[in-house]
Every structure is written in structure tokens, then in C-alpha cells.
Amino acid sequence: MAGQAQITSVEALEAFRSDLIVYLSQIQPVLDEISSDVVRMKFWLQNEQRQLWESHLRQRRRKLEEAQAELFNARLSTFQDSTMLQQMAVQKAQRAVQEAEQKMAALKKWARELETQGNPLLKMVDQLKGFVATDLTAAVSYLTQVIKTLEAYKEIVPTASAAQPDPPATETKTSS
């Protein structure tokens, strides 16, 4: 048969198909983990850390108010000559409040940065998840069908060539 296909390695397709199935089983959890890590990071920045530093800021402002009140009382008191200790406590409390305010500002900046830089990347991960879920799954189905078709073709071809009669032998006349 002149138009006969030469199928030499259906096993290579089967191996590729099985490797693709393994890849799909491994990539899905990785993509899900990436998405959940970004969500956890957003939650951590926008909720946990914000609440933590808001609490620290309130405590530090309260300590600053207490230190300022002690300094005021020391200045009014006739029994104390020096208010240096209270002034140092106020300065220390002011630095602590400034530090907490800087941390709050940094958290807001990081949250914005995560949104602006993370969202496009997360969108690409979601697109990849869609590609994996639809296109690669369809590719596995397609490969399964191709392998079945090729196996069926391999089974038909030998029987078709056996059913064809051999070309007639040509006899030559010899003179005696």
C-alpha cells in the first residue's frame, strides 16, 4: 500500500500523555499555593500587621501622654529641682510614637505595592490555572483519542495487506 502511514512509536505518545498527566497533577497544587500565599500576604499586611501597629501606636501615645503629664507635674512641683529625667522620658516616648507612625506608613505603602505589583502577576497565575484546567486537560483527552485511533489503525493495516492478493507471478515461456 503506497499511502500507508509508518507508525513506529505510539509508545512515545503514551509516554508524553502520561508525563502530561503527571505535570497536571503537580502544577495544580503549586498554582493554588501561589494564589493562597498572595491572599495570605494581603491579609497579613492589611489586617494582622495593621492591627498590631495600631495597637502599638495607641500604647505608645498613651505612654507619651503619661510622660508629658509627669513632666508637667515636675515643672509645677516645688520639691523637684530638675526635670531632666522627665524630659528624657518624653523624648523617648516621642521617638517610639514616631517609629510606630513610620511603621504604619510603611505598612500602607507595602499594601499598595502588593496590590499594584501583585495583582497583575496574580492575574497571570489565574490565566495559567485556566489554561492548565481547560487546554491541557483537553490536550490529554485529545492525545488519548489519537492513541486509540493509531492503535486501531495499526490493527487494521496488517489485516488489510493480508487480504490483498499477491501480484500474479509472471511465467515466461521457454522454448525447448
pLDDT digits (tens, 9 = 90+) for 89-114: 999 999 999 999 999 999 999 999 99
Which helix (DSSP H) or strand (DSSP E) does residue 15 occupy? helix 10-43
Domain presence at residue 1:
no
Domain presence at residue 9:
no
> What's the confidence (pLDDT) of residue 11?
87
Domain presence at residue 163:
no
Residue 174 has pLDDT above 60, yes or no: no
Domain presence at residue 37:
yes
The total number of structural domains in the chain stands at 1
Residue 38 has pLDDT above 70, yes or no: yes
Residue 75 has pLDDT above 90, yes or no: no
pTM (global) more than 0.85: no
Domain presence at residue 24:
yes
Residue 176 has pLDDT above 50, yes or no: no
User: Pick from 27, 60, 43: which is nearest to 128 by CA?
Assistant: 27
Interatomic CA distance for residues 151 and 158, integer angstroms: 12
Domain presence at residue 65:
yes
Contact present, 1 and 160 (Cβ < 8 Å): yes
Range of the domain at 152: 14-156
Domain presence at residue 56:
yes
Domain presence at residue 134:
yes
> In b/e form, how buried is each residue of 10-40, taking b as 16+ CB within 10 angstroms?
beebeeebeeeeeeeeeeeeebeebeeebee
Query: Which residues 6+ apart lie within 8 Å of 107 measured at CB?
Result: 45, 49, 50, 53
